[in-house]
Structure 1
């Protein structure tokens, strides 16, 4: 879980490159022709930039903004893949060159590259943003320990679930559920989980999602002294700092910011369950089952993962190569920016069954979490250490809503059997709640 950043990637400004043909595969890296580069920028890059600009502003929009644009982007990427025989394609832009990984057979090599370099960190709690701030190795080690990376159950699971159950009452306090109410409940839970109960009411810590009050550092430091042992700050304070290079206040700010993604994931998951009442009834029964292990809920977790497959936090993942590497027989120098369009691969109908349909059952198969085509939390060295905590928080909040309420989708209107839109703006989601 890390601090938020711009959704744009080094490929974001790709605009032109010299003309090429499939013959490039014989010894030169495939490069996009000028017309293809312009189309890529218009259909893939520009919508990402626009979504980042619009999404940062708290105003109501339609439930799915410009649903055709991701399809145009996917069509552009499929055309590039077909033209160059699946080989990674070089695009050039104002920020330099980037190599697009378009074929599943190259994904494993992408994840083998270390996660480091000048690329900006992606959105919080999302893939590949876990190691790019501060003293990388030391901060990563503390992140993994505090967030209990790799453990199926967080050591503070009990206290965290109690906090989430209490704050979930704010979600179900009315007959409707929208982004503002969801943000309020999640922000309170975040402050209690990261800093403790003393910080629960301090709404001035973040006046807007991802933007901290100018005096937030001093206030976080004050709360850190009061943090209960089970909180993330309490766990972090038990770590030593032999080099003096760590910034616990800054780390706490990043953990708080990491919760900014939870409201969107929560609303998308509940919306999809509202459109699929049979699945909703099944996960509600799971949540109400007597003797169910606290935080287990495998079927509901699968629904959260499926929502993240359909609507990933970061559409493009990035690697900066540290040494000369070979991609399909073409040598590329150290420092090459390699981009994996994760959204494209996760919803690629040529390689993913029912790619545009909500099918949470796909996550029940053995090894599904390690399927390299799916990257809700990335893979290998870039796998987010906050994965299990993020799933715990989002699943627990969903469960608290569904135990006592039935969710009905008000807007947007989705087809339960047809292809889902490429985008679901959480600011436009409205749900209706009725008592079970």
Structure 2
């Protein structure tokens, strides 16, 4: 029988501080799609830095064990701080990824997605399909990346809107094929649903937009264009209750975060000159996600016995900005991802049985993009990222001066 321990309860004053410093800034910025003005305010207020410092103080006061935080009207929340407790939460199937808040949010546009499937057996089958498709052959996507990177400036200024537009063309072509390259309406519909998803259960379902989005998506999937994930999905032969087509909205949504990671990684590479081989480009992307997580909080709900004396329904909250810097620290450390080192480096792509199944696809695409872009360009970012690297980096306002650099 496993040893059951108690989480350290925080005081009412500490619970209020945690709500103000952790929860409110994350909700204001948008948990499903970022609000540019709120991201700007959070960066100016050093919201992530304040949250990291608060959790460091609480860990020094309460010890390495997880904190138990009361949430009025919701029940307790478990806040793991030490790496071994974070791993325990993410690897234990008693902690379901289909948390109440996550189901309320993501059901706006992907009600059949694997991440919010509460039934374990069905979730496993949906997970298997996602892995089978997302871990297929990546080579055809190199051409797509090269062609879209060629549309980015070789001289002048690179801004987030221009970079994101090119990245979204890459994503549409990778997922749905070349025929979807210019379908910005599909993404606008998805963005509309994602803005509603920011409000989780508090916002009613926009069924007209969702139905229009699903019809438009179905048209692209029906083509099953060779060289796309849609073609792989068409040949996957999943059971009807898996809802194979229902997994695709999450790919489009989650892939969007890769643009943020790649854009910030470009700033890291520019501020820390060195060789631009693919291993170091990959390390830069991983460091980008470690230092500035695209998912600010990883949520799990307790559905059975755990190592801690908490009731079912308790929400476990892994605060990514703190966890990712807990032991590697606040410096840019690409060596964490080079040479097969085993040092703890946080959870940039989550961990355990619900770890992002598209991690390798995202990294392949991001590395190919950075490699193609830097092959003939040099860049100077609008920020200076010296160690210790700041806790926030507003990608909306980040800009690069670009010059041709033929090698």
Establish whether TM, by shorter chain, passes 0.5. Answer: yes
Q: Tell me, what secondary structure is at the counterpart of 1:91?
A: strand
Query: Aligned to 1:433, which of 397, 402, 406?
Result: 402
After superposition, the Cα gap between the structure-2 partners of 1:227 and 1:273, relative to the gap in structure 1 and judged at 3 Å, is: same
Alignment RMSD, CA only?
A: 2.7
Q: How far, CA to CA, are the matches of 1:339 and 1:53 in structure 2? A: 13
Query: Aligned to 1:139, which of 126, 135, 140?
Result: 126
Aligned to 1:220: 217
After superposition, the Cα gap between the structure-2 partners of 1:146 and 1:83, relative to the gap in structure 1 and judged at 3 Å, is: same
Query: Aligned to 2:263, which of 259, 262, 267?
Result: 267
CA contact (8 A) 2:9 2:68 kept: yes
Q: How far, CA to CA, are the matches of 1:39 and 1:228 in structure 2? A: 51
1:396-432 Cα shifts (integer Å, max 9, x gaps): 11111100000111x2x2242x322211121110011
CA contact (8 A) 2:66 2:78 kept: yes
Q: Does 2:233 correspond to 1:236? A: yes
Structure 1 position 91, deviation (Å): 0.5
Aligned residues: 373
Q: How far, CA to CA, are the matches of 1:376 and 1:187 in structure 2? A: 21
Q: Does 2:46 correspond to 1:72? A: no
TM-score (structure 1 length as normaliser): 0.78
Q: Tell me, what secondary structure is at the counterpart of 1:131?
A: helix
CA contact (8 A) 2:42 2:48 kept: no
1:118-142 Cα shifts (integer Å, max 9, x gaps): 3444999xxxx96324842222111
CA contact (8 A) 2:336 2:345 kept: no
Structure with greater helix percent: 2
1:251-286 Cα shifts (integer Å, max 9, x gaps): 22222222221221121011111222x22xx10xx3
Aligned to 1:102: 81
CA contact (8 A) 1:265 1:307 kept: yes
Q: How far, CA to CA, are the matches of 2:314 and 2:213 in structure 1? A: 37
After superposition, the Cα gap between the structure-2 partners of 1:372 and 1:136, relative to the gap in structure 1 and judged at 3 Å, is: farther
Aligned to 1:401: 373
Q: How far, CA to CA, are the matches of 1:384 and 1:68 in structure 2? A: 28
CA contact (8 A) 1:119 1:318 kept: no
Q: Tell me, what secondary structure is at the counterpart of 1:428?
A: coil
Q: How far, CA to CA, are the matches of 1:241 and 1:105 in structure 2? A: 36
Structure 1 position 62, deviation (Å): 5.0
After superposition, the Cα gap between the structure-2 partners of 1:63 and 1:90, relative to the gap in structure 1 and judged at 3 Å, is: closer
Q: Does 2:384 correspond to 1:414? A: yes
Q: How far, CA to CA, are the matches of 2:264 and 2:114 in structure 1? A: 24
CA contact (8 A) 1:74 1:344 kept: yes
After superposition, the Cα gap between the structure-2 partners of 1:99 and 1:373, relative to the gap in structure 1 and judged at 3 Å, is: farther
Gaps of 5+ in 2: 107-112, 194-208
After superposition, the Cα gap between the structure-2 partners of 1:161 and 1:307, relative to the gap in structure 1 and judged at 3 Å, is: same
Structure 1 position 299, deviation (Å): 1.5
1:206-257 Cα shifts (integer Å, max 9, x gaps): 1276336652222222222222233111101112233x22334432222222
Q: How far, CA to CA, are the matches of 1:56 and 1:108 in structure 2? A: 27
Aligned to 2:357: 385
After superposition, the Cα gap between the structure-2 partners of 1:262 and 1:211, relative to the gap in structure 1 and judged at 3 Å, is: farther
Query: Aligned to 2:243, which of 231, 247, 250?
Result: 247
Query: Aligned to 1:210, which of 166, 191, 198?
Result: 191
